[in-house]
Structure 1
Amino acid sequence: MARLGIHSFVWTGGTTQEGLEMAMDRSAEAGFKAIELAYLRPEKFDLSALAKRAQALDLGITVTMGLPVSADISSTDRDKVAAGEALLASAVAAVRDIGGVRLGGILYSAHTKYNALPSADGRKTSAEVIAKTAEKAKAAGVEIVLEVVNRFETNLLNTTAQGLEYLDLVGRDDVRLHLDTFHMNIEEANPAAAIRLAGDRLGYFHIGESNRGYLGDGVIDFAAQFDALLDIGYARDMTFESFSGAVVDESLSLACAIWRDTWTDSVPLAAHAKAFIDLKRTEALRRRQTNARP
């Protein structure tokens, strides 16, 4: 059974050690078995202390990030590519040091709205750097998963089909896709079909509503997507993600266009998400059992 996690941005902007420790505590109190953190700069945080706290709470850790424009590995600027490769290597080391299991997110390009189409050379360079990063990650015991996001946050991987083509270019079986219900709702004609297309190359899954708020208050067909996850035998971690201007910092607000408070109180949001996801999982299993009866 996949562990159910929650993004630390539900609890904190993630700029202080105390905030991250609080996020871990509250995640465990709410019944989640994993927490997702944004990239942690070793010079700003005590990673060893965070690792010990997560271990004491029996929380798995995933770290996700997006590359800045100055470190865009899909660029044709060699200095930017070199900066991106170094940043990814640092991120892999940080995930290792905090006891995390995977590094995900927009690792293959800058996290930004581009004003040009991706170039063939840039795509090739990006895949080469990801392959090198995956080799480092393998030695560190860290999985690499690449998040497929909407057109306003990257120009490279917007659909599962594009993601699979890119994985072929990377050429490593240990690099997988990271799909997200929010992004699929924007880009995929049929999100459930996209999940089935990903199949065993799906390595991580984000659950978020179309308006980034409470699950069930938007337009996403969660039943169809949980059915699809069962169809592919998905048994890896999944994480609830929700952003509100009440919590996230300015940089994320700018990158993800969080211009308003989609909620103001983290505790009921987290409790509702846990109950909602547990219910949808149970309903999908019941449908599967009913359909399997002669």
Structure 2
Amino acid sequence: MALNVKLGVSTWLWTSPFRAEEAAGLFEKIATLGYSAVEIAVEDPGLIDIPKVKDALAANRLEAIICGAFGPTRDLTSDDEQLQRTGLAYIEACLDIASALGSRFFAGPMYSAVGKARMVSPAQRTIEWERAVANLRVVCESAANRGLEIALEPLNRFESDLINNVDDVLRLIGDIDHPAAKICLDMFHMNIEEPDPEAAIVKSGEKLIHVQVSENYRGTPGTGNASWDAYRRGLEAIGYQGVVSIESFTPANKELAAAVCIWRNLAESQDAFASDGHVFLKKWITGN
């Protein structure tokens, strides 16, 4: 039985930061390649002209998914309260964008800054965990007031010391204790952190509302050693019906360059990455 999902791709594959002026041309390309959804990476909310982006989505019949970029100035666990406030203000802006563009949720590793990976004392870890919980409870209320949810994404150990796997994110959601708190799983991070990706997906269950994919080296789906059959079995077991979206990056990524560490092209071209990836994923969701 084929998975009942839509296929999407991130704007990060081509550009960083995404600007509304790019929407018409980029979205037409994405739709022409066969995708049904576009994952809009919002590095700077000020660059997102809502009417322009909305028109481009409608013209190309694309569903919008809004994802965040959490650099060091947007850290909900920081000792610096100003950085916490900056992070919350950024998330509020992204929630406004998601609402205006008809997205159902806002996704990303919003609990902390990407690249924050240190050895700290148990006492400091508890302090930062409690800050993440308290701040994300506020975020969940803001999301719910807009009819939205949030999709919290675990990152691998080299990019975060707080939330690395499904067990971590389920514990976080349990402590937040708000119905708007849900899960986004990224295959790249799971390839590093999950011994059994199928079991991890099943454990996520109905809380899983978004899936990102790429190869083990962040390359084109189908060209590496990712456990594609296991991922498919897991999604099939929970009846996942959301978007499966390619997330990789242009080497020109600004906000997250130090964390994602992509310094070279991972395919012949970014267009070839998206095109070949779509061909592979179309076969993958049918089980062929």
Of 217, 230, 239, the match for 1:211: 217
Closer, same or farther: CA 270–70 of 1 in aligned 2, 3 Å: closer
Contact 2:21 2:52 in 1 (8 A): no
Amino acid at match of 2:281: I
Do residues 242 (structure 1) and 240 (structure 2) align?
A: no
Within the candidate set 260, 281, 287, 1:283 is matched to 287
CA–CA distance in structure 2, aligned partners of residues 11 and 71 of structure 1: 23
Q: Equivalent residues in 2 for 1:128-147 (5 A)?
A: 128-147=134-153
In structure 2, the CA distance between the partners of 1:39 and 1:66, relative to structure 1 (3 Å rule), is same
Runs of 4+ aligned residues of structure 1 deviating over 4 Å after TM superposition are none
User: How big is each residue's C-alpha offset from its partner over 1:1-30, in whole Å with a ceiling of 9 and x where there is no partner?
Assistant: 322111112233344333233221111111
Separation in structure 2 between the aligned mates of residue 18 and residue 90 of structure 1, nearest angstrom: 19
1:46 aligns with 2:49: yes
Deviations 1:180-209 (A, max 9, x none): 111000111111111111111111101110
Aligned residue in 1 for 2:272? 268
Report how many residues are paired. Answer: 282
Stretch of structure 1 that moved more, 117-126 or 1-10: 117-126
Partner Cα separation in structure 2 for residue 155 and residue 11 of structure 1: 28
- Is 2:165 the partner of 1:153? no
Q: Does 1:64 align with 2:70?
A: no
Partner Cα distance (1:85, 1:161) in 2: 25
Distance 1:44 1:268, change over 3 A: closer
**Conserved? CA contact 1:13–1:19, under 8 Å:** no
1:103–1:144 contact (8 Å) kept in structure 2: yes
- Does residue 256 of the first structure (1) align with residue 256 of the second (2)? no
**Structure 1 CA distance, aligned partners of 2:224 and 2:55?**
37
Instruction: Structure 2: give runs of 5+ residues left out of the alignment.
Output: none
**1:81-101, Cα deviation, whole Å (9 max, x unpaired):** 222222211221122233333
Q: Is the 8 A contact 2:35 2:278 kept in 1?
A: yes
> How much has 1:255 moved relative to structure 2?
2.4
CA contact (8 A) 1:67 1:109 kept: yes
Partners of 1:244 and 1:263 within 8 A in 2: no
Taking a change above 3 Å as real, the CA distance of residues 212 and 160 of structure 1, as seen in their structure-2 partners, is same
Q: Give, as a single letter, the amino acid of the residue that structure 2 aligns with 1:256.
A: V
Preserved CA contact (<8 Å) 1:244 1:261 = yes
Q: What do the CA deviations read for 1:152-190 (whole angstroms, capped 9, x no partner)?
A: 111111010011000001101221111111100011111
Counterpart residue type for residue 142 of structure 2? K
| TM-fit CA distance, 1:280 | 1.2
- Give the Cα separation in 1 of the matches to 2:73 and 2:135: 15
Partner of residue 169 from structure 2, selected from 138, 142, 163: 163
- Is contact 1:36-1:62 (8 Å) kept? yes
Runs of 5+ in structure 1 lacking a partner? 285-294
Contact 1:48 1:97 in 2 (8 A): no
Do the aligned partners of residues 66 and 250 (structure 1) sit closer, same or farther apart at CA in structure 2, a change above 3 Å counting? closer
Partner residue, 1:172? 178
| Cα 1:142/1:32, change in 2 over 3 Å | same
What pairs with 1:2-41 in structure 2 (closer than 5 Å)?
2-39=5-42, 41=44
Report the identity percentage: 27
Cα distance in structure 1, aligned partners of 2:92 and 2:8: 25
Helix, strand or coil: the match of 1:95?
Answer: helix
**Displacement of 1:250 after TM fit?**
3.5
Displacement of 1:40: 5.4
Shift of 1:236: 1.5
C-alpha distance in 2, partners of 1:204/1:45?
A: 22
